[in-house]
Amino acid sequence: MKSKYAVFILVLSLISILALLIGCSSTPVTTGKELKLGAIMPVTGPAAEKGKPGIDALLDVTEYINKELKGAGGYQVKLDWKDSQYNAANVNTIVTDFTNSGVLMFTAMSSFEMTNAMGIANKAGLPGLAIFTSPNLYNPPAHIYGQMPDYGDDWVAFSNYYMQNIWKKSGKPKMALALLNNTTGSSVKDVANARAAAMGIEIVDIVDHSATTIAETDALTRIKAKNPDVIFISSTPQPTSVILKNAKDLGLTPSTVTIGLAHASFTKSLIDLAGKDVVEGVYGVYPTVTWDDTAPGIVKAKEYLMKNHSGDVDNMDYLSVWCTGLVSAEILKNAVNAVGYDVLAKGDANAWKAVEQSGFQKLNYNVAGIQGAVSYTAGDNRLAKSVKMYSIKSGKITSIGDWVTAR
């Protein structure tokens, strides 16, 4: 009887040991404790073509982080996201709520959203991560950081590429700018006005448009009269599709004038909205790789996309926001490892300071190779400095160069 009991105890012990071995990982999970991440996304409204794949990606990458990476520093990431409807008043309400709800940091998909959030966030000391960025967000540096290079960086990168690889004539090429009437456009205007002459480019016209425009024929007729060599557009997909279709009707096609796009509109939804024939040959700048790339992180992004949101296949905005989740988790991991969970659990000014100083400002992370590596440099709140050049060929966004430093 005693021998049978001893065998029984031994078996139970072996089962317990085996269970511990199977369940163990390099990052043990602390159950019941969470790190709260806020997110502002334009899921409906005039920028929904970006916000919808954006929130799909953020939900998917949070699932991946919590299930497979064991959270951030062993703590589950709790996502608190709100639909801004691309509306300034909504953004103000959302970020105010974040300052009172235990959020440790927040993200905003668009520079427009973050421009409206930054006043409240900077005053409170709540750190924010802008996904699509403009220079006004962090000049001068405060508590807002850019995940990727900004639209001014896009213009510089494209213009350098154009001068080195496309412009073959003597003299200065004539460039026209078609810009969204918010920070998506104004950041390009400011940088182009400051840098064009030194780069050997003549800016011959600057026109702006709204996010809800349905026709830009008059503005493009004015541009056409200036006989431009190149047109650069900084906008979102819907208005960019209108511009490109109107331009084609006027004979301003990639076969007659070089057309370049900043990264806010350079995604699959633009191709769907404008049509493959309209966008063929258009150039664009983007701060991530494409879905066809062999970067190590692409495989996992594809796995979750196909499992949960297969309608976002080939969407570049999905990839951008997938990176947002990875970067945010790295920030929170850095912070909780440095100061401990109890400091962050309060979700107050001291927690925000810890997240900023021990999280954001200690970044040194390659983001699984999907976007440019992120790191902090004192006085420069842009966390990544690299972009890639692309062209649309046979209806697909196709790489035409390696990573380049934007500026």
**pLDDT at 19 (0 to 100):** 37
**DSSP for residue 400:** -
Q: Among residues 41, 40, 61, which one has the least CA distance to residue 52?
A: 41
Give the tens place of pLDDT for each residue, 2-21: 444 343 333 334 333 333 33
Task: Provide the 10 A C-beta neighbour count for residue 67.
Answer: 11
Alpha helix ranges (H) inside 111-150 = 111-124
Instruction: Decide: 85 and 42 in contact? Cβ < 8 Å.
Output: yes
> Token match 């998917």: residue?
60
Inter-CA distances, 123 with 118, 259, 273, Å:
8, 40, 39
**pLDDT at 326 (0 to 100):** 98
Count how many residues are written for the chain. 407
**Dihedral (CA of 229, 235, 236, 241) sign:** negative
Strand, helix or coil at 25? coil
Give the tens place of pLDDT for each residue, 223-280: 999 999 999 999 999 999 999 999 999 999 999 999 999 999 999 999 999 999 999 9
**pLDDT at 3 (0 to 100):** 45
Average pLDDT over residues 22-49: 78
Look over the chain and give the mean of its residue pLDDT values, rounded to a whole number. 93
Instruction: Decide: 127 and 149 in contact? Cβ < 8 Å.
Output: no
Residues with Cβ within 8 Å of residue 105, at least 6 apart in sequence: 37, 38, 126, 127, 128, 129, 328, 331, 332, 352, 355, 356, 359, 360
Average pLDDT over residues 105-114: 97
Tokens of 373: 């590596």
Alpha carbon 313 to its chain's center: 17
**DSSP for residue 274:** H
* CATH superfamily of domain region 34-149+293-376: Response regulator (3.40.50.2300)
Burial of 89 (0-12, 13-18, 19+ CB in 10 A): exposed
Phi-psi region of 44 (alpha: psi -120 to 50; beta: other; left: phi over 0): beta
| Residue-by-residue DSSP string for 305-353 | HHHH-GGGTT-HHHHHHHHHHHHHHHHHHHHHHHH-HHHHHT-SHHHHH
Question: Residue 28: which pLDDT band, with cuts at 50, 70 and 90?
Answer: low
Task: Provide the 10 A C-beta neighbour count for residue 18.
Answer: 10
Task: Provide the 10 A C-beta neighbour count for residue 349.
Answer: 12
Confidence check: pLDDT of 95 > 80:
yes
Residue 404, phi then psi, degrees to nearest 5:
-130, 145
Q: What is the pTM of this model?
A: 0.88
Give the tens place of pLDDT for each residue, 198-219: 999 999 999 999 999 999 999 9
**pLDDT at 31 (0 to 100):** 58
Per-residue burial over 279-311, b if 16 or more Cβ lie within 10 Å, else e, is bbebbbbbbbbbbeeebebbebbeebbeeebee
Instruction: Write the class of the CATH domain 151-286+389-405.
Output: alpha beta
CA gap 157, 136 in Å, rounded:
19
Domain span(s) for CATH 3.40.50.2300 in the chain: 34-149+293-376, 151-286+389-405
**pLDDT at 4 (0 to 100):** 41
Average pLDDT over residues 271-295: 97
